[in-house]
């Protein structure tokens, strides 16, 4: 059996979770990794922008955590903190996020992290049969059932989008 391209893909293979790996050519000049993924992955008109999820690392007095939500949405740090069981959250430092997850910014996956972090997935993801999240590298995405994403990351679900 061939070695998986990333730890995120390896985690799905090890758990025998059905998934599809999607790839697009990442443009290093693109300012927003999430917007680039949406533009590249929704051209087929089958995938909607709300199905493409971003992975944000947050910091609190309890350490780091992960918030997974649709790319077009803004994160409510207050809602994410409440879902993760901490009083307050801020966006994590890029270096700390990369060190903890083992992934580079723009390619941070909620799956296969070096240090599995407490995770919250926005409840809206459960509306879909399939969502896309980073496979652990810029330009590489995984399509999977959102329930599998929640199960494998031991996530809680909550509405974490800002109004």
Q: Where along the chain do its domains lie? A: 7-158
The CATH classification number of 7-158 equals 3.90.960.10
Q: What spatial distance separates the first Cα and last Cα of the chain, rounded to whole Å?
A: 46
- Report the candidate in 8, 48, 1 with the shortest Cα–Cα distance to residue 142: 8
Alpha helix positions (H), 32-145? 33-41, 77-84, 94-101
User: In which order are the strands placed within the sheet that holds 53-60?
Assistant: 90-91, 53-60, 63-70, 119-122, 156-158
Q: What are 104-131's pLDDT values in tens digits?
A: 998 999 999 998 999 999 999 999 999 9
pLDDT attached to residue 97 = 97
C-alpha 56/C-alpha 14 separation (Å) is: 24
Q: What are 58-73's pLDDT values in tens digits?
A: 999 889 999 999 999 9
C-alpha 72/C-alpha 75 separation (Å) is: 10
Q: How does residue 1 score in pLDDT terms, banded at 50, 70 and 90?
A: very low
Element (H, E) at 108: none
Q: How does residue 47 score in pLDDT terms, banded at 50, 70 and 90?
A: confident
For residue 73, the SS3 value is coil
Find the Cα–Cα–Cα–Cα dihedral 28, 76, 115, 123, rounded to 10°: -100
Count CB atoms within 10 A of the CB of residue 108.
Answer: 26
Name residues whose C-beta falls within 8 Å of residue 139's C-beta, 6 or more positions apart in sequence: 23, 24, 25, 26
């Amino acid at each position: 059996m061939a070695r998986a391209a990333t730890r995120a893909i390896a985690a799905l293979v090890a758990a025998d979770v059905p998934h599809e790996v999607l790839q697009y050519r990442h443009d290093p000049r693109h300012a927003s990794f999430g917007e680039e993924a949406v533009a590249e992955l929704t051209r087929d008109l089958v995938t909607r922008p709300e199905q493409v999820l971003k992975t944000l690392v947050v910091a609190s007095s309890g350490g780091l955590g992960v918030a997974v939500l649709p790319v077009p949405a803004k994160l409510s740090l207050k809602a994410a903190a409440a879902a993760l069981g901490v009083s307050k959250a801020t966006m994590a430092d890029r270096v700390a996020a990369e060190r903890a997850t083992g992934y580079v910014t723009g390619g941070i996956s909620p799956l296969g992290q070096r240090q599995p972090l407490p995770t919250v997935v926005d409840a809206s993801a459960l509306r879909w049969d399939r969502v896309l999240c980073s496979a652990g590298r810029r330009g590489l995405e995984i399509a999977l059932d959102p329930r599998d994403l929640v199960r494998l990351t031991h996530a809680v679900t909550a509405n974490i989008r800002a109004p």
